[in-house]
């Protein structure tokens, strides 16, 4: 079995390499193509994904990769990498700093859910890196003016009262086709919590939850590359993962995700249901 620490080193290297490429296009006029009515892609998404794939292939040529833009590649390796080369493309194209590169690696065992082993999320404009490996905890580092690089171990909050909670959420690209399914739960959550934030990057929403900057997160229509890395951050930071109905979250199978600290999970499931 691969050592999680080795997988983590490659995940961080790959995510940072992709993030460096994204900085080359940040703040510039970028040509945008449509994959759907509101689903965007740019040459920087594609360039970042190529770079991330290259880093992974050099270290683990036998592993498979499932990436947002170019899909699946590889063989029947028990190790699969999940890559979102630019999570928050709309933000990126508008020079909004809330976007990231997300890289996660899971162990695939027949008959069992994918087992997250290593994760890295890099927000290049915010100069922040989040990482975790199985059994090793979750951490973040950030370069701050006048203070250098600040590093800390992350822990989810222990809030139990929804009225005190700040909750992150997101909307799927097909929200226009099923507005009641998406906006109904939002309407139930809004009056029950202190605040709801929708910032446009699922991976960073989960990273912020792991860091204690938010108390919960839910979203429908998530894709495995959106959340594979972030889910490991949350679990290693002491959080709880399920679908919005409270059933176990299974990567590549579950169609929704709810992540919280332990004390807030049941109250939020009750509201969302």
What does the pLDDT look like over 119-147, one tens digit per residue? 999 999 999 999 999 999 999 999 999 99
Name the band, by pLDDT with cuts 50, 70 and 90, for residue 39.
low
Q: pLDDT at residue 69 above 90? A: yes
User: Distance between CA atoms of 101 and 121, rounded to whole angstroms?
Assistant: 6
Residue 14 predicted with pLDDT over 60: yes
Q: Output the pLDDT for position 37.
A: 65
Structural domains of the chain, with CATH: 4-153 (3.30.540.10), 162-272 (3.40.190.80)
pLDDT value at residue 36? 64
Could you tell me which residues are beta bridge partners of residue 67?
71, 83
DSSP collapsed to 3 states, the chain: CCCHHHHHHHHHHHHHHHHHHHHHHCCCCCCCEECCCCCEECHHHHHHHHHHHHHHHHHCCCCEEEECCCEEECCCCCEEEEEEEEECHHHHHCCCCCCEEEEEEEECCCCCCCEEEEEEEEECCCCEEEEEECCCCEEEEEEECCCEEEEEECCCCCCCCHHHCEEEECCCCCHHHCHHHHHHHHHHHHHHCCEEECCCCHHHHHHHHHCCCCCEEEEECCCHHHHHHHHHHHHHCCCEEECCCCCCCCCCCCCEEEEECHHHHHHHHHHHC
Q: What is the pTM of this model?
A: 0.96
Q: Where is pLDDT greater, at 181 or 240?
A: 240
| Distance separating alpha carbons of residues 160 and 215, to the nearest angstrom | 9
């Amino acid at each position: 079995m691969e050592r999680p620490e080795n997988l983590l080193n490659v995940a961080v290297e790959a995510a940072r390499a992709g993030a460096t490429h994204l900085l080359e296009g940040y703040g510039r006029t970028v040509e945008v193509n449509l994959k759907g009515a509101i689903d965007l892609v740019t040459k920087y998404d594609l360039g970042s994904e190529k770079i991330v794939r290259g880093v992974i292939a050099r270290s683990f040529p036998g592993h498979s990769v499932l990436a947002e833009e170019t899909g699946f590649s590889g063989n029947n390796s028990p190790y699969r990498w999940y890559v979102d080369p630019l999570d928050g493309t709309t933000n990126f194209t508008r020079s909004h700093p809330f976007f990231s590169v997300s890289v996660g690696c899971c162990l695939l065992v027949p008959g069992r859910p994918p087992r997250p082993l290593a994760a890295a999320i890099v927000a290049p404009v915010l100069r922040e890196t989040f990482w975790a490996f199985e059994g090793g905890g979750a951490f973040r580092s950030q370069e701050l003016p006048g203070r250098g690089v600040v590093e800390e171990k992350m822990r989810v909050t222990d809030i139990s009262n929804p009225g005190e909670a700040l909750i992150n959420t997101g909307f799927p690209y097909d929200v226009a086709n099923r507005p009641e399914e998406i906006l109904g739960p939002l309407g139930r959550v809004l009056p029950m919590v202190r605040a709801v934030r929708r910032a446009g990057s699922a991976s960073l929403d989960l990273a912020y939850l792991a860091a204690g900057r938010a108390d919960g997160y839910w979203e429908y229509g998530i894709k495995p590359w959106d959340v594979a890395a972030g889910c490991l951050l949350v679990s290693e930071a002491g959080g709880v993962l399920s679908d919005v109905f409270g059933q176990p979250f299974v990567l590549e199978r579950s169609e929704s995700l709810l992540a919280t600290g332990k004390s807030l999970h049941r109250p939020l499931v009750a509201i969302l249901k």
